[in-house]
């Protein structure tokens, strides 16, 4: 089983979308194994968005992502990084397909509601930035025999 790091950004939290978004992943059959609510520290933002620190949009991104609490969570499942990125949709919500989270709930690239790791390697790195091992639960979902062949 693979894990991925997901985060509902401050716009998603303020707009009351936490439940809607988590439900989509739960209904798909993915397993929620960690979750917490917090305002990201400067240090964690720099680590999380290390690849973007020199981009022209970085200051705006940092201001946005620290403007209020985020909901950080980890889901587990087979091929989960690819599946969750598909469910999230393209980075720019104006171009995300209808039916994806960004396609259904957002309009512009600067406030696109949710973050999801883009590869299994990124997921391991991001989970380690935001969670300690004891914050992640291992358990069997009772419906697993009807989800995985
Ligand atoms: P991703 O979130 O789909 O992986 P990335 O290219 O990794 O997209 O960018 C990280 C985040 O930075 C985006 O989700 C978005 O919030 C923000 N971002 C990316 N490009 C722009 C931009 O051109 N203007 C403003 N914000 C941007
Ligand atoms: Mg990215």
The catalytic residue positions are 115
The verdict on pTM exceeding 0.75 is yes
DSSP 107-149: -STT--SEEE-SSHHHHHHHHHHH--GGGS-----TTGGGT--
User: Cα dihedral sign for 43, 46, 50, 54?
Assistant: negative
Tens digit of pLDDT for each residue in 88-137? 999 999 999 999 999 999 999 999 999 999 999 999 999 999 999 999 99
Pocket, ligand 1, Cβ cutoff 6 A: 52, 57, 60-61, 91, 109-110, 112, 115, 118
Task: State which of 70, 110, 123 you would mutate to test the pocket of ligand 1, scoring each by most atoms of that ligand within 8 A of its C-beta.
Answer: 110
Domains of the chain: 2-137 (3.30.70.141)
Interval between CA 122 and ligand 1 midpoint (Å): 15
Beta bridge partners of 74: 5, 34
């Amino acid at each position: 089983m693979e894990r991925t790091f997901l985060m509902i950004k401050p716009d998603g939290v303020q707009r009351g979308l936490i439940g809607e978004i988590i439900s989509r992943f739960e209904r798909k059959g993915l397993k929620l194994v960690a979750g917490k609510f917090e305002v990201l520290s400067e240090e964690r933002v720099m680590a999380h968005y290390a690849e973007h620190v020199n981009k022209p949009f970085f200051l705006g991104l940092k201001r946005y992502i620290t403007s209020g609490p985020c909901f950080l969570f980890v889901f587990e499942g087979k091929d989960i990084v690819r599946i969750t990125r598909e469910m999230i949709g393209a980075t720019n919500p104006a171009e995300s397909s209808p039916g994806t989270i960004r396609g259904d709930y957002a309009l512009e690239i600067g406030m696109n509601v949710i973050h999801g790791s883009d590869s299994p390697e990124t997921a391991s790195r991001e989970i380690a930035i935001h969670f300690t091992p004891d914050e992640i639960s291992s358990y069997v979902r009772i419906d697993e025999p009807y989800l995985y062949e």
